[in-house]
Structure 1
Amino acid sequence: MTDNQPSSPDDAPEPHAGPPTPPNSPAGPPASSAPPAGPPASSAPPSSPPAYSAPPASPPAYSAPAAYSAPPAYSSSPGESLAGPVQGRPPFSGMAIAGFAISCVSLFIFGFLGIVGLLLSVAALRRIRTGVARGRGLAIAGLVIGAVAAIFYLVGLLLRLGS
């Protein structure tokens, strides 16, 4: 036999064995001395719920509602609603609507009306800038469509006169 080999199989060390465990200890990693996580368990019974105060001796006093007022009188004027005149927003510009409508018609039927729609839309834009009316989008659309219709009309007129 050689000196490096153990004489019996019991004397051979195990290749991956950890430190030997004492005979009366549980198998596994040693327990730490830190307390367990979470609230500590108490042996005292839970305390009784807090005492509530007694309700008031008498309920709060009730007061009668205020007297109702008479309903508003109905209005027959077109600028007023039942609640009175609308505050905050000016009326829609009739010139902007007319300029847009005439400009659209001038694209398909009468080209010379594009100039009228363009002029009405410019006048409506001036009124809208001062805050007297609203409808800026319609006025701009009427101005652009009227200008395009007027240009088509003038080009067509020049082509007819040139031939």
Structure 2
Amino acid sequence: MRFVPTAIDGAFLIEPEPASDARGLFARTFCAETFAGKGLAAHFPQHSTSFNPQRGTLRGLHYQDAPKGEAKLVRATSGRIFDVAVDLRRDSPSYLAHVGAELDAERRNAFYIPEGCAHGFLTLREDCEILYLVSETYAPDLARTVRWDDPAFAVAWPATPTLISPRDATAEDFIP
């Protein structure tokens, strides 16, 4: 696996390094020892999936407050998405910075998003399925949403969303 640093401190795009032969390919997509060696979360007690049949579906920007802040390892297992992380950690050198990256099932790439960052995505194709490995279990009382188009973040989404949940559509701006 290659860990490609991003503009957010502690966030990485992860690219597999597949071995190919006549049978197809084989690639590691996660290794607890490798992740821990880089100072990243290596224990993911919750695995979640999201299926989105419609192109233009937006989910986010979501995060979970302390003491159950979440690191996430996100991968498109079907389709292609524009995945976004926003750094909400006040003490971070990349505070309020964002990173957007395409995750594509065919490329098998992933995005590691550290605790304290909001996360969201926009589907770029129909029938997208997303796999999340999450470092904490879900705590509804600590779940938060900030506006996907908050001017404080200035995320350059590649298209206008066509389907947004009421929760995401009515989210408020982030208040630093």
TM-score, normalised with respect to structure 1: 0.18
Structure with greater helix percent: 1
Structure with greater strand percent: 2
Greater radius of gyration (CA)? 1
